[in-house]
Structure 1
Amino acid sequence: MSSPIALLPDAQLRPLLDAYEASVRSRRWHTLLILACVAVAMVLSSISAEVSIPKLLDNIHRFPSYIIRLFQLENGRPVWTDVAEWFWGLPRWLRLLGETLLMAYVGTVLGVIGAFVLSFLAAANVAPSRWLRWTVRRFCEICRTVPELVFALVFVIAFGLGPVAGVLAVAIHTVGALGKLFAEVVENIDMKPVEGIIAGGSSWPVAMRFGALPQTMSNFVSYALLRFEINVRSTAVMGFVGAGGIGQDLIEAIRKFYYSDVSAILVLIIITVSVIDTLTSHVRHRLIGLQEKH
């Protein structure tokens, strides 16, 4: 079957084709303009950051050679030829890896509790006061803007070396990140149950407990599990600043050029994170499915 537009007289078809070609040309020029702007921005950023392209090209061969060296033992043989020597420090590394997981777990729990409380104060549809909402949102912004490693370094100076600094850093950053996400979940609830409870003479906390919370709980748990995945990866490098965990041995191995130890620790971290990601993703998908059914 022929297209209806092909049946139009040439006098009517030509303006349509010209308009289409003009639109295509305009899109192409817009795309080229955007690419040119991105390229210029990259060049200006490189100049500002003092990035030397010749130096990068001269030393780029060192990167693959370093990766190859990670998978060689001290005698030059591949690491998989002697797994016992490769993972010689497995008991200690597993203990530190367990410490890392506990840091992520405790920090996530503390952060979730703080974000849970603050989310109802930061949501535009249920916040008791506009000024309180503004203050809580700015506080959450500060908590999630400062990098976790900076918080960890500050707490190491304040409380000394150890996992306490890592837990506090993770907890504060989690409050800021989940506080925003939880508040957005609360802002998307159906307000009729909340309004009905308040109209019956109940207080604001009661309205949040029985009107808002049942609608948000599954999303809260889903976001908390997702944040736990992120925190496991974050706590793995907390040891770089002395905040405990497997990162402490990792940075020591990097500094002392213990190549096979670096690769062994990285393999343990990757396996652990992958397992946790798989398990938490399965739980989150089940929660999302249950919510959709209801």
Structure 2
Amino acid sequence: MKRPSAAAVRNTPQEGRFLIATALDAVVANGEASFQQARRQRRAATIGAVVVLAFCLVLSGWVSEVSPGALLAGIPRAGEYFVRIAPHLEWQHLFSNWETEGSLAAWFYRADKWLLLLFETAQMAALATLMGLVVALLLCFPASRNLQRGVLSFQFTRRLLEATRTVPEIVYALIFVWAFGIGALAGILAIALHSSGALGKQFYEVVENAEMGPWEGVRSAGGTWAQACRFAILPQVLPNFISYALLRFEVNVRSASVIGFVGAGGIGEELYHVISFNYYDEISAIIVLVILAVCSIDLVSERLRRRVIEGAA
């Protein structure tokens, strides 16, 4: 066997390094080309999405007859209305009695009645939230994909929840006012019906993310479907359920303030009355009270949610 020459032996390491460097350069070049190609594709997709979105916005504005001219013409009128409802307060009479023009007491001269109506509105929202919570709690388990009892039951429950949350509360309120008459009952039923669908969706999405180990354990031990829901799933998802219910209560307070416009009780009915007769000072006073009430409820609910979540952790 012929031995390689000394020169060949000396050149072999250099040739190896050259080949490795060439291979690395080729890999880097291929990677850079792939990256640039993917980048161009992402840019093209982004541009296409922006174009489609812009077209949809223009089409929506054209169909709904919204134009920049109409917006520019309406903004000054909206500003004029806010100027009209602004209270005429005077610093020298700010803390005088209710008979003195320019005082806070004169601005809120019907505060006793308005506070009672706000309390009624909060009670409407609380009762409606509780009723919606019960219905959503009963329907969220059969509506969960991972706990299906059957395709028919699953599809029926989901479609029912979709139907109840699709219709706005004010539409339900109009129907119930016609059925039960003017008053808080119509508002409570309207908000409860819509809340059951909204909470039901949130609840079954939480259930679908629950751990299935406890469920399988209860079922393998001979537990029924309802027992597995009660003892395996509910303890896992209960903190989330409470958090969503408190959030829904905040939303329902606002809803209860609006559906009063159709005679469904609460502060909304009084607000509609003063708006109809252009009692500008009373409009702003009621709006301020509603804002303060909603902010207070939001703060209390936020603290309760944090305690529930921290307690569960």
Specify the structure having the higher radius of gyration (Cα).
Answer: 2
2:12: which partner in 1?
A: none
Q: Given the alignment of the two structures, is residue 282 of structure 1 paired with residue 290 of structure 2, yes or no?
A: no
**In the alignment, is residue 271 of structure 1 matched against residue 286 of structure 2?**
no
Correspondence 1:86 to 2:107: yes
Q: Say if 2:271 is the partner of 1:250.
A: yes
| Alpha-carbon offset, residue 202 of structure 1 | 2.3
Amino acid at match of 1:63: A
Structure 2 residue 64 is matched with structure 1 residue 49: yes
Tell me, yes or no, if structure 1 residue 239 matches structure 2 residue 230: no
1:3: which partner in 2?
Answer: none
Distance 1:19 1:109, change over 3 A: same
Q: What letter matches 2:246 in structure 1?
A: L
Q: CA deviation at 1:199?
A: 1.7
Match of 2:190 among 164, 169, 173: 169
State the distance in 2 between where 1:178 and 1:103 align.
17
- Counterpart Cα distance in 2 of 1:201 and 1:23: 54
Kindly indicate whether residue 92 of structure 2 is the aligned counterpart of residue 71 of structure 1: no
Report the Cα distance in structure 2 between the residues aligned to 1:159 and 1:253, rounded to whole angstroms: 24
Q: Which residue of 2 aligns with 1:220?
A: 241
TM-score by length of 2: 0.82
Give distance in 2, aligned partners of 1:26 and 1:130: 41
Supply the distance in 1 between the matched residues of 2:228 and 2:29 (Cα, whole angstroms).
Answer: 64
Q: Which amino acid aligns with 2:130?
A: V
Quote the Cα distance in structure 1 between the aligned partners of 2:297 and 2:74: 36
Q: What's the counterpart of residue 213 of structure 2?
A: 192
| Pair 35,202 (structure 1): closer, same or farther in 2 beyond 3 Å | closer
| Structure 1, unaligned runs of 5 or more | 1-7
Distance 2:185 2:136 in 1: 20
The alpha-carbon distance between structure 1 residues 83 and 139, as it changes in their structure 2 partners (threshold 3 A), is: same
Once residues 46 and 288 of structure 2 are traced to their aligned partners in structure 1, the CA distance between those partners, rounded to angstroms, is 42
**Paired residue type of 1:62:** R
Map of 1:5 onto structure 2: none
Which stretch shows the higher mean deviation, 45-54 or 269-278? 45-54
Structure 1 residue 176: deviation in Å?
0.3
Q: Distance in 2 between matches of 1:126 and 1:33?
A: 40
Give the direction of change, closer, same or farther, for the CA distance of 1:20–1:215 in structure 2 (3 Å limit): closer
2:203 to 158, 182, 185: 182
* 1:82-127 per-position Cα deviation (integer Å, ceiling 9, x unaligned): 1111111101101110110010000000000111111111112223
Mapping 1:20-169, distance limit 5 Å: 27-28=42-43, 30-73=45-88, 81-169=102-190
Rounded to whole Å, the distance in 2 between the matches of 1:182 and 1:54 is 44
Shift of 1:277: 0.8
1:60 corresponds to which letter in structure 2? Answer: I
Indicate how the Cα distance of structure 1 residues 202 and 43 shifts in structure 2: closer, same or farther if over 3 A, else same: closer
Deviation at 1:211, TM superposition (A): 1.5
Task: After TM superposition, give the deviation of residue 219 of structure 1 in Å.
Answer: 1.2
Once the two structures are TM-superposed, the CA of residue 63 in structure 1 deviates from its matched residue by 1.4
User: Percent identity between the aligned chains?
Assistant: 43
CA distance in 2, matches of 1:183, 1:31: 33
* Count of residues in correspondence between the two structures: 282
Contact 2:87 2:284 in 1 (8 A): no
Q: In structure 2, how many angstroms separate the alpha carbons of the residues matched to 1:30 and 1:206?
A: 49
CA contact (8 A) 2:215 2:233 kept: yes
Query: In structure 2, how many angstroms separate the alpha carbons of the residues matched to 1:111 and 1:278?
Result: 22
SS of alignment partner, residue 293 of structure 2: helix
**Which amino acid in 1 is paired with 2:193?**
I
Provide structure 2 residue ranges, at least 5 long, that are not aligned to the other structure.
Answer: 1-20, 95-101
| 1:50 partner amino acid | E
CA deviation after TM superposition for structure 1 residue 22, in Å: 6.6
Q: Which structure is higher in RCO with an 8 Å CA cutoff and minimum separation 6?
A: 1
Q: Deviations over 1:174-216 (max 9, x none)?
A: 1101111111122222222222222222222222221222112
- For 1:31 and 1:128, how far apart are their aligned partners in 2? 43
